[in-house]
Structure 1
């Protein structure tokens, strides 16, 4: 676990702001008729124009600047010629490096008119993130966050993906520790001021099991049910958690 200095956290705020601006822009452009490739191009343009570097592009060979995961796709959906349709939901995950430090966040958006269940799934994913970071306090254990996320999701009748986790973040997009979205409380490393984490509940309408498609990237629900993703980069401070990927 790498504890960041005040100077490093300040740079991460700048990286986080770029990511937050991209996700804000997505609210305007995501609608029926747009392709996931067009979304990717808009995101990449904004990151570069803001002095950032797309964190995902080329990462382990990943071919795009965002992950665009539609409906039953959980994460890592590769942007392409797919046209979004009325009633779809889409998770957009974006990362940017700025002056050598990374920000990473995700949101799930409604496309046009969605079902009430889809809207609720998106809402519970977001709520579970905030339920988790209530425990992102100095002196608590990492899995206090994990447990709070799981309890909120399952009490609302949805399931938490178990084979994918959040992560530490800083000079690298993925650092220790791993941050599961489920587990028993009072376990895991002690939380310390200066620790930066990307906390990212991934929740399914049906069962928690997932599988990876033949492209080697796209993770989908095994039962074909909808999935939603919500993520922010945060820092633990003496006064509680601060979200770095927020305008």
Structure 2
């Protein structure tokens, strides 16, 4: 149901999103295992597509938007931040590739429920500064998720991400692309920026599901869209990293629907309440 323009899920609907989230988690794990020098991004796309369909789910990204996105995953290499189209690009030693993946699980009425997550993977040994960029981006994701509390504000998540990143160095925080609400559609209100002030924005409620996805660069925050009308690249050619999880707010805390363990280990590490099954 909707309240104040936000889609609030019942417990059974969150369970369906957990099913979709686990499909995404498994697809990303399979793709991660396949990343190596000599592999094409199209091969990674095929692996994810076959796994999603074998699990009885559908890809969220395929056919999405205008022009229709032509693949199951986004595969964004090096200076590509997000929305990279898989194809004949061959991965090489030292590259990094961001893999963004979504899946839909339908309920008995045919209504689809989405899961959405992303990882950035080094191809072989990446330079130390790139490895650190990846670490900071992933930790910023968890810092943002751990800041979510029923009764809080979206800005609490945004501020936690920005505060952590600024403390770690001079990384560019991409501003033009944000996290988002998720549920019956892949993108729903509210937007979840990766920078901002605490205590601002829509109120966080039980049953709200969000996809949080910091995108950082080794240069500035500025981006451009490539000629394919999808791939977002850094304006200065610097390397980017991107991590994402979908989570829901339950009566007990935060349940990370696209993490195999529900996010329990990282939430407990950060002193945040875990809201999934025990």
Do the two structures share a fold, i.e. TM-score over 0.5?
A: yes
Structure 1's consecutive aligned runs of 4 or more residues displaced over 6 angstroms after TM superposition are none
Residue deviations 1:76-114 (CA, integer Å, cap 9, x gap):
000010000000000000000011100000000010011
Find out whether 1:23 has 2:23 as its counterpart. no
The whole-number CA distance in structure 1 between the counterparts of 2:146 and 2:33 is 30
Which residue pairs with 1:79 in the alignment?
Answer: 86
Task: Give SS of 1:83's match.
Answer: coil
Find out whether 1:12 has 2:17 as its counterpart. yes
- Answer whether contact 1:154 1:160 (CA < 8 A) is retained: no
Once the 2 structures are TM-superposed, how far is the Cα of residue 238 of structure 1 from its aligned partner?
Answer: 2.5
RMSD: 0.7
Instruction: List runs of 5+ in structure 1 lacking aligned partners.
Output: none
- Aligned partner (choices 116, 122, 133) of residue 145 of structure 2: 133
- Answer whether contact 1:137 1:237 (CA < 8 A) is retained: no
- Answer whether contact 1:65 1:94 (CA < 8 A) is retained: yes
- Aligned partner (choices 108, 124, 131) of residue 112 of structure 1: 124
Which residue pairs with 2:242 in the alignment?
Answer: 229
The whole-number CA distance in structure 1 between the counterparts of 2:254 and 2:175 is 24
- Answer whether contact 1:211 1:222 (CA < 8 A) is retained: yes
TM-score normalised according to structure 2 size: 0.88
Once the 2 structures are TM-superposed, how far is the Cα of residue 206 of structure 1 from its aligned partner?
Answer: 0.8
Find out whether 1:93 has 2:100 as its counterpart. yes
The whole-number CA distance in structure 1 between the counterparts of 2:226 and 2:198 is 33
Find out whether 1:187 has 2:200 as its counterpart. yes
The whole-number CA distance in structure 1 between the counterparts of 2:76 and 2:104 is 22
- Aligned partner (choices 170, 177, 188) of residue 190 of structure 2: 177
Once the 2 structures are TM-superposed, how far is the Cα of residue 190 of structure 1 from its aligned partner?
Answer: 1.0
Which residue pairs with 1:212 in the alignment?
Answer: 225
Task: Give SS of 1:112's match.
Answer: coil
Which residue pairs with 1:69 in the alignment?
Answer: 76
TM-score normalised according to structure 1 size: 0.99
The whole-number CA distance in structure 1 between the counterparts of 2:58 and 2:145 is 28
Task: Give SS of 1:197's match.
Answer: strand
Task: Give SS of 2:45's match.
Answer: helix
Once the 2 structures are TM-superposed, how far is the Cα of residue 240 of structure 1 from its aligned partner?
Answer: 1.9
Task: Give SS of 2:133's match.
Answer: helix
- Answer whether contact 1:159 1:208 (CA < 8 A) is retained: yes
Task: Give SS of 2:118's match.
Answer: strand
Structure showing greater relative contact order (alpha-carbon pairs closer than 8 Å, 6 or more residues apart)? 1
Once the 2 structures are TM-superposed, how far is the Cα of residue 239 of structure 1 from its aligned partner?
Answer: 2.2
Task: Give SS of 1:59's match.
Answer: coil
Find out whether 1:162 has 2:169 as its counterpart. no
How many aligned positions are there? Answer: 247
The whole-number CA distance in structure 1 between the counterparts of 2:37 and 2:166 is 31
The whole-number CA distance in structure 2 between the counterparts of 1:106 and 1:70 is 13
The whole-number CA distance in structure 2 between the counterparts of 1:194 and 1:160 is 28
Find out whether 1:50 has 2:55 as its counterpart. yes
